[in-house]
């Protein structure tokens, strides 16, 4: 098992308890050539052959004669059903992409509001059977929100920014690859978890994606995804009109300039000629050196609306990223004081100024995909603007697929957070679903970054995060552990020992990672310069990104209060602002996010900050050691290939967690001069310090901070 089929293996179920007789054929109601209903029928055929060793014929299009559907699987749209059978079925209300699944009658009904919904229903049915669940069900399922997209940060040269699963499946050498088989496989995976859109290129976008050759290539990508109901969109470079492309070169990219408006209108029309169902655009502007409207003293909303207006006649959506910040003015050595403030600062005054087909895509926290962040206050600030939450499946700051970190529990801390807007219950998940502020659009986008590796993401266990993302984007209220267990049964079968071990490891993995990396809201103490991997607490201060710990000999933490600090706490609605303003009401796990305190400050738990650091790092690394032994208990219960590859990763994680533990505890031990009450820090019996090594065939290299490699103070 290479992992290529992920959770869609359709492995045989040993003792199926099928309560009805097996279906005799599949009737595809919709005749669209190569459309989602066609794919649904093909999948049903493939799935039942794999799961039950039962071969079915597909009949399509059907000319129905009453009575001949007994023991068929009927799959198609509600409208086509009504057409065929001369009357609408009596089922609950469905919205776009929703479906009805009924296995209680003689025929199995899988009916979608649209073709995509029918495909989703077919996958739900198959994923139920694949888990050995043959119970009778009759239910309707509707998505929480219309936007359930993934983002890929693929560059045209085939590299992937923050991708850890190999090269791009879309691009190579500046253009679209010839063989799109993996794209089709990816579409299948995405459809099976309800994803309906994808941005295929990096947010740090290259204008040459718009060349005629590449538009044709995008057309081929869109043709490949279309049967799976996945609509393709692209990320744009704001300065494209000045990039000397075939559409005419302008000397400005000012969003209010009539020539610029015409330029984008033409480009958009050209794209829609080749991709009539293009999902839309994603734009990162005025952030990390990217061009944007502010260059011309225009607002972010004016910049966003330029694209939204061009897309509007075609039904496209503009996703505009809230990740806007100016790092520094290095020449003047003026560093931003607190990057957490940036999003609300930049969007102040712009609520309600965005076009109706524009959606502001907001990272879950105010900084950048850290191991723990409070919910971005922008979710509560924008009330007359549609919003979506941005998550990261690729584990940029979270171990880069070398560490097992199951992410849905982290995402839930934000989705389930109550912003108390207008003193009223305002869960982030209800805001992004559009329910709380009555917005027509909304949803989620996740940076996924799969690559050509057979495991897609670089490691087998990390696929639970992609699966979990899809399930949560469909139903934000679903439970991370339930999702996980479905994924385990689908990926590894239903052996109870396998289920128990992977559940246990995965559910303790994010808390463990937080423990051995950065606690109490201090952020993930990785190298901040570029790699975002491995411990480097020193780089977390005196950098130009406003991402600081403010650690000195006595104190640590960012004071983000209104009374003394950067004022960030005041960006929340009043009840939440008051909670974070005060140390006594700030939860321990965000203490250092909001407050600058002595290392000896006592937590609600009774520990001091510094002793908590020590204890947590030891506890986290201890937990990571158990992943290896828990996994070893599964030898023979998981196929050899995936067993060995996963063991390799977990062994690495166990070792790296110790590197993390020692580097961080030594660093804060040295800086604070406060001893560990259990006298562990600095006493690492098996550790070999750099100064006691003799090198053969290696060259010395300066490690920063030295604590990661050396015990010399």
Q: Alpha-carbon torsion 28, 33, 37, 41, what sign?
A: positive
CA 372 to chain centre: 15
Rounded Cα distance between 32 and 118, Å, is 13
Rounded Cα distance between 578 and 420, Å, is 11
Helix (H) or strand (E) holding 268: helix 258-274
Nearest approach in angstroms of CB 382 to ligand BDP is 19
Strand partners, 318: 281, 358
Report the residue number, 528 or 709, with the smaller CB distance to ligand BDP: 528
Active site residues: 288, 368, 396
DSSP string for residues in 432-479: HTTTTTT-S--EEEEE----SSTTSSSSSTTHHHHHHHHHHHH-TTS-
Burial 112-138 (b: 16+ CB within 10 A, else e): bbbbbbbbbbbbbbbbbbbbeebeeee
Q: Alpha-carbon torsion 530, 536, 537, 539, what sign?
A: negative
Residues 480, 186 contacting (CB under 8 angstroms): no
Q: Cβ–Cβ contacts within 10 Å for residue 563, how many?
A: 10
Nearest approach in angstroms of CB 237 to ligand BDP is 13
Report the residue number, 162 or 435, with the smaller CB distance to ligand BDP: 162
CA 239 to chain centre: 27
Report the residue number, 204 or 582, with the smaller CB distance to ligand BDP: 204
Report the residue number, 120 or 364, with the smaller CB distance to ligand BDP: 364
Rounded Cα distance between 595 and 606, Å, is 17
Nearest approach in angstroms of CB 161 to ligand BDP is 5
Nearest approach in angstroms of CB 204 to ligand BDP is 5
Report the residue number, 80 or 368, with the smaller CB distance to ligand BDP: 368
Helix (H) or strand (E) holding 509: helix 496-516
Nearest approach in angstroms of CB 396 to ligand BDP is 6
Residue 306: helix, strand or coil by DSSP? helix
Report the residue number, 285 or 505, with the smaller CB distance to ligand BDP: 285
The contact set with ligand BDP (CB under 6 A) reads: 161-162, 203-204, 284, 323, 368-369, 396
Residues 351, 382 contacting (CB under 8 angstroms): yes
Place of tokens 């509007």: 312
All residues at 6 or more sequence positions from 523 whose CB lies less than 8 Å from its CB, including other chains: 367, 370, 371, 372, 373, 540, 547, 549, 593
Q: Within the chain, what is the greatest distance between any pair of CA atoms?
A: 85
Q: DSSP class of residue 192? A: H
Residue nearest to ligand BDP (CB): 368
Nearest approach in angstroms of CB 363 to ligand BDP is 7
Strand partners, 681: none
Residue 59: helix, strand or coil by DSSP? strand
Nearest approach in angstroms of CB 123 to ligand BDP is 30
Residues 72, 112 contacting (CB under 8 angstroms): no
DSSP string for residues in 631-677: HHTTBTTB-HHHHHHHHHHHHHHHHHHHHHHHHHHHHHHHHH-PPPT
Nearest approach in angstroms of CB 530 to ligand BDP is 8
Nearest approach in angstroms of CB 424 to ligand BDP is 31
Report the residue number, 396 or 527, with the smaller CB distance to ligand BDP: 396
Radius of gyration for the chain, computed over Cα atoms and rounded to the nearest angstrom:
26
Report the residue number, 324 or 350, with the smaller CB distance to ligand BDP: 324
Report the residue number, 97 or 390, with the smaller CB distance to ligand BDP: 390
Nearest approach in angstroms of CB 287 to ligand BDP is 6
Q: Cβ–Cβ contacts within 10 Å for residue 701, how many?
A: 8
Report the residue number, 327 or 651, with the smaller CB distance to ligand BDP: 327
């Amino acid at each position: 098992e290479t992992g290529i089929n992920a959770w869609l293996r359709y492995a045989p179920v040993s003792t199926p308890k099928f309560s009805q007789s097996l279906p005799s054929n599949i009737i595809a109601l919709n005749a669209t050539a190569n459309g989602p209903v066609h794919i649904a029928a093909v999948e049903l055929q493939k799935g039942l052959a794999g799961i039950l060793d039962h071969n079915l014929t597909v009949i399509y299009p059907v000319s129905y004669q009453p009575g001949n559907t007994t023991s068929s699987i009927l799959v198609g749209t509600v409208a086509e059903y009504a057409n065929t059978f001369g009357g609408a079925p009596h089922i609950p209300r469905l919205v776009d992409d929703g479906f009805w699944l009924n296995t209680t009658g003689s025929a199995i009904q899988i009916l979608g509001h649209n073709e995509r919904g029918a495909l989703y229903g077919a996958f739900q049915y198959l994923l139920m059977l694949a888990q050995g669940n043959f119970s009778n069900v009759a239910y309707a399922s509707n998505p929480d929100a219309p936007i359930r997209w993934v983002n890929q940060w693929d560059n045209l040269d085939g590299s992937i920014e923050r991708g850890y699963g190999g090269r791009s499946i879309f691009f190579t050498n500046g253009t679209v690859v010839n063989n799109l088989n993996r794209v089709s496989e990816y579409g299948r995976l995405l459809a099976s978890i309800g994803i309906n859109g994808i941005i295929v290129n990096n947010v740090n976008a290259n204008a040459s994606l718009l060349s005629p050759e590449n538009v044709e290539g995008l057309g081929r990508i869109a043709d490949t995804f279309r049967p799976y109901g996945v609509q393709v969109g692209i990320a744009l470079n704001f300065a494209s009109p000045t990039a000397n492309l075939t559409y005419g070169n302008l000397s400005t990219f000012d969003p209010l300039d009539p020539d610029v408006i015409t330029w984008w209108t033409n480009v958009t029309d050209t794209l829609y000629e080749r991709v009539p169902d293009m999902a839309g655009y994603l734009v990162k502007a005025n952030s990390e050196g990217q061009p944007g409207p502010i260059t011309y003293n225009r607002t972010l909303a004016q910049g966003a609306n330029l694209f939204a207006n061009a897309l509007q006649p075609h039904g496209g959506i503009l996703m505009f990223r809230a990740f806007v910040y100016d790092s520094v003015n290095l020449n003047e050595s003026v560093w931003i004081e607190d990057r957490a403030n940036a999003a609300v600062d930049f969007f102040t005054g712009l609520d309600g100024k965005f076009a109706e087909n524009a959606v502001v895509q907001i990272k879950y926290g105010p900084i950048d995909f850290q191991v723990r962040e409070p919910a971005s206050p922008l979710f509560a600030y924008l009330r007359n603007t549609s919003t979506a939450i941005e998550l990261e499946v690729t584990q940029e700051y979270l171990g880069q697929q070398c560490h097992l970190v199951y992410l849905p529990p982290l995402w839930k801390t934000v989705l389930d957070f109550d912003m108390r807007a207008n003193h009223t219950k305002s869960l982030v998940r209800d805001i992004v679903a559009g329910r709380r502020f009555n917005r027509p659009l909304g949803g989620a986008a996740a940076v996924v970054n799969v690559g050509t590796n057979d495991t897609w993401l670089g490691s087998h266990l990390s696929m639970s995060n992609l699966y979990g993302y899809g399930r949560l984007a469909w139903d934000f209220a679903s439970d991370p552990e339930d999702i996980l267990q479905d994924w385990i049964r689908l990926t590894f079968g239903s052996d109870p020992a396998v289920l128990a071990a992977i559940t246990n490891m995965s559910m303790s993995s994010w808390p463990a990672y937080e423990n051995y990396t950065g606690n109490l809201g201090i952020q993930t103490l990785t190298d901040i310069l570029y790699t975002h991997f491995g411990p480097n607490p020193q780089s977390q201060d005196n950098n130009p990104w406003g991402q600081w710990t403010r650690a000195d000999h006595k104190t640590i933490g960012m004071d983000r209060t209104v009374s003394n600090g950067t004022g960030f706490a005041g960006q929340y609605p009043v009840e939440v602002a008051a909670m974070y303003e005060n140390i006594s009401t700030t939860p321990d796990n965000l203490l250092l996010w909001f407050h600058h305190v002595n290392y000896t400050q006592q937590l609600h738990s009774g520990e001091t900050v510094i002793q908590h650091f020590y204890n947590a790092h030891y506890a986290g690394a201890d937990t990571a050691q158990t992943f290896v032994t828990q996994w070893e208990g599964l030898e023979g219960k998981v196929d050899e290939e995936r067993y060995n590859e996963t063991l390799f990763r977990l062994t690495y994680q166990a070792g790296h967690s110790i590197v993390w533990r020692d580097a961080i505890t030594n660093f804060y031990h040295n800086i604070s001069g406060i001893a560990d009450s259990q006298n562990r820090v600095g006493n690492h019996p098996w550790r070999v310090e750099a100064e006691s090594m003799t090198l053969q065939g290696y060259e010395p290299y300066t490690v920063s901070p030295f604590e990661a490699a050396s015990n010399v103070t």
